[in-house]
Amino acid sequence: AAASRVFAFRDARWVPDPVLEPSAAVRTPQPVPLVIDNGSFQTRAGWASAEPAVPAEPLLRFRSLAARSRGARGGAGAETQVGNDLGSPEPLRWLLRSPFDRNVPVQLELQELLLDHVFQRLGVASQGCVDHPIVLTEAVCNPLYSRQMMSELLFECYQVPKVSYGVDSLYSFYHNRRQNWPCSGLVISSGYQCTHILPVLEGRLDAKNCKRINLGGCQAAVYLQRLLQLKYPGHFAAITLSRMEEILHEHSYIAEDYIEELQKWRSPEYYENNMHKMQLPFSNKLLGSTLTSEEKQERRQQQLRRLQELNARRREEKLQLDQERLDRLLYVQELLEDGQMDQFHKALVELNMDSAEELQSYINKLSLSVEQAKQKILQAEVNIEVDVVDSKPETPDLDPLGSEQSLEDVESINEFEPLFAEEQPEVEKPVAAVQPVFNLAEYHQLFLGTERIRAPEIVFQPSLIGEDQAGVAETMQYVLERYSKEQQAILVQNVFLTGGNTMYPGLKARVQKELLEMRPFQSSFQVHLASSPVLDAWYGARDWAVEHMAREEGWITRKDYEEKGGEYLKEHCASNVYVPIRLPKQAPRTTEALAPSRALTSSAGNPCE
C-alpha cells in the first residue's frame, strides 16, 4: 500500500502546435466564426460550424504565455516563442510574459503575439486580413479601456468583419442550460487568477451585484510551493511551480469541514493511509564514490589533454597574428630599402610609428616572439608524443643481466617482508563502491499530508495567506442578501460551478454545506457542476456563434466600431452589461460670472491702481 502511494512527477513537455489545414466547409458558403476563449491560464481556439466536417471542439489549446529570447551573441536576433512552442516553462520562467493583469488583458503587444499564433496555426489564409467573424471571451465587468484596445487590435490590425464579446463563465452557464431557458442562477466561477460570484436573473447578468475575489489557482500553486520549500529546504530548486500545479490538479481536494479534516490528519493511522509521496528525479550514482583510482587517473589525463590542446590552439592563433604583423613590418622595411620614401612614410603613419629605428625595434621583438612561439609549439608536440608513449601498457623486459640477483639482495628483501605484511593486502584490496547510509529514493520524496487540503482552502479562507478578503461562502452570502427572499430562493435553485479551479474533489459538497448553514431551515437549493469546467466556456461560445451566425444580435461590425468607438458592446445573453462613457458637460459661463473676472483683469493691468 505504501508503494502504491508513491507518485512520480510527469514533467510533461508541451508539444508544438502543428499548422492545421482547415476544411473547405470553414470558408464556404461564407466564412464561419472563429471562437477564441482568451483565458489568463490557457487559450483555446476553434471553428464554430454546424457542418459535420468541422470539428466541434477546440483545435488549439496552449498556455497564454510568450517568451522573447535575447538571441545569440553575434548571431541572429531575438526569437519569440508562444504557448506550446516553449516546450517547458521552467527553464524560461524568468523570460515568460503574459498579456494579463489578473484576468484582464493589458499588454496588447503580447496579446497580438497570441492572436498571431492562433491565426497561423489554424491556417487562416486570407490575404492581408482575417475575414472570419471572431467570438472572444472577456473578463466580467471588463474595463472599457481594455475592450477598446482589443477592438482596435482586431479591427485595425486584423481587419475582422465583426466581433462579439462574452463572459467565459456565462458561456459555460449557457452551454449547461436547462430546458426552461432563460433561467436564473448563481454562477461561481473560479479560474487561474480570480474567483467570481455572478447572479443571473432571467437569463441576463446582474452586473451591479457581481463580486470578485482576487484568488485562484495561481495563488494556490504559489502557496503550496512556499509550504513545501519550507518543509524541504534541501529540494528548494526542484519544487517548481509546474510541479505544484500538477499536485493541485491530481492530488489535492477540498475538505467538507476544514477543522474536522485537520483533526483527522492528526491521527498517525489516518496520516499513513492518506499521505501521498511525490518522487523527485534523482541519480543513484554518488559523485566520486564509485570511481576507482584508475578511472580518476584517466579523468585527470583527459582534463590535462584538453588543457594542452586548448593552450596549443591559443599559441597557434597568437603565432599566426604575430607572423602576419611581422610580414607587414618587413614589407614596410623593404620599401625603405628600395628607396620608396613616400610610401614608407605613409606606411609609418598608418603603423603609428615615428622613425625607421622604431620600426627595426618592433621587427626584432616580433621576430624573437615568433621564434619562441614556434619552439613552444614544437616542445608541446614532443611532450604530447612522450605522454602517448608513456601511456602504453608496460611489458616486462627480459633482461638476462638484470635478472641475475645476488643471494644477498634476495635475503635483504626477505628481511623487510614482515614489516609490510599487514599493509600489502590493503593495497591490493579492490576499491568497493561506497553504499549510502540512507535510502536515496526516499530522501528525494515529498510527503503530502495536510498540504493536500491547505492549498485549495485559500479560496474559502484567504486569511491563510494573509489576504484581507472574504472567502467564497461569505461573498456568496453577501450577494444573496442584496436580493429579496423570493429572488434568493430562485437563485439558490441553480448554483452553478465552473472554471478550472472548481475541479477539486469535494468542492460541490463543500458549497452545499456552506449553503445549508446560511439558508433558512428546510429551504431547498441545488448545486450543479459544469460537465467540463475547463472547456465549457468554449463550447458555450461555439453554441452561441452557431445559433446567432445569421443574426445581428451581439455582433459589433466595423461600422459600429467606427461610429461608436472601440469600447462599444452589443449585449446578448452571455455578455457584460454595456455602460457607455458619460462625460459631464461643462455649464456655459454667463455674463454675470464673466464680469468680475474682467474687472479684476482690468485693475491688474493698471500699475497705478
Q: What is the pLDDT of residues 179-220, one digit of tens each?
A: 666 789 999 999 999 999 999 999 899 999 999 999 999 999
**C-alpha distance across the termini of the chain, in Å:** 102
Q: What pLDDT is recorded for position 568?
A: 94
Q: Are 49 and 26 within 8 A, CB to CB? A: yes
DSSP state of 420: G
**Alpha-carbon distance 609 to 606, whole Å?**
6
Q: What pLDDT is recorded for position 396?
A: 43
Q: What pLDDT is recorded for position 352?
A: 83
> Does the structure show a pLDDT above 70 at 436?
no
Average pLDDT over residues 346-357: 83
Q: What pLDDT is recorded for position 125?
A: 76
Higher pLDDT, 389 or 59: 59
Q: Are 527 and 495 within 8 A, CB to CB? A: yes
The neighbouring-strand residues paired with 62 are: 43
pLDDT tens digits for range 73-106:
545 567 889 999 998 888 888 899 999 998 999 9
Confidence (pTM): 0.72
pLDDT band per the 50, 70, 90 thresholds, residue 358 = confident
Higher pLDDT, 465 or 319: 465
Average pLDDT over residues 551-577: 93
Sign of the dihedral through C-alpha 56, 62, 64, 68:
negative
Q: What pLDDT is recorded for position 250?
A: 95
pLDDT band per the 50, 70, 90 thresholds, residue 152 = very high
> Does the structure show a pLDDT above 60 at 337?
yes
**Would you give the distance in Å from CA 91 to the centre of its chain?**
9
Q: Under DSSP, is residue 332 helix (H, G, I), strand (E, B) or coil?
A: helix
DSSP state of 296: H
Q: What pLDDT is recorded for position 27?
A: 86
* Cβ neighbours for 315, distance < 8 A, ≥ 6 positions apart: 373, 376, 377, 380
Looking only at the bridges linking them, the beta strands covering 527-529 and 495-498 are: parallel
pLDDT band per the 50, 70, 90 thresholds, residue 285 = low
Helix (H) or strand (E) holding 228: helix 217-231
Q: What pLDDT is recorded for position 329?
A: 87
Average pLDDT over residues 35-42: 95
Extents of the domains making up the chain: 7-214+469-581, 298-383
Higher pLDDT, 117 or 292: 117
| Average pLDDT across the chain, whole number | 84
Query: Among 140, 254, 135, 113, which residue's Cα sits nearest to residue 200?
Result: 140
Looking at the chain, the whole-number percentage of residues with pLDDT higher than 70 is 83
DSSP state of 54: S
pLDDT tens digits for range 573-600:
999 999 887 766 666 665 554 445 444 4
**Alpha-carbon distance 423 to 95, whole Å?**
59
Cα dihedral 538, 14, 234, 455, rounded to 10, equals 10
What are the helix and strand counts (H, E) for the chain?
A: 20, 20
CATH T-level assignment (fold) for domain 7-214+469-581: Nucleotidyltransferase; domain 5 (3.30.420)
pLDDT band per the 50, 70, 90 thresholds, residue 382 = confident
> Does the structure show a pLDDT above 70 at 390?
no
* Cβ neighbours for 82, distance < 8 A, ≥ 6 positions apart: 62, 65, 66, 113, 114, 116, 117
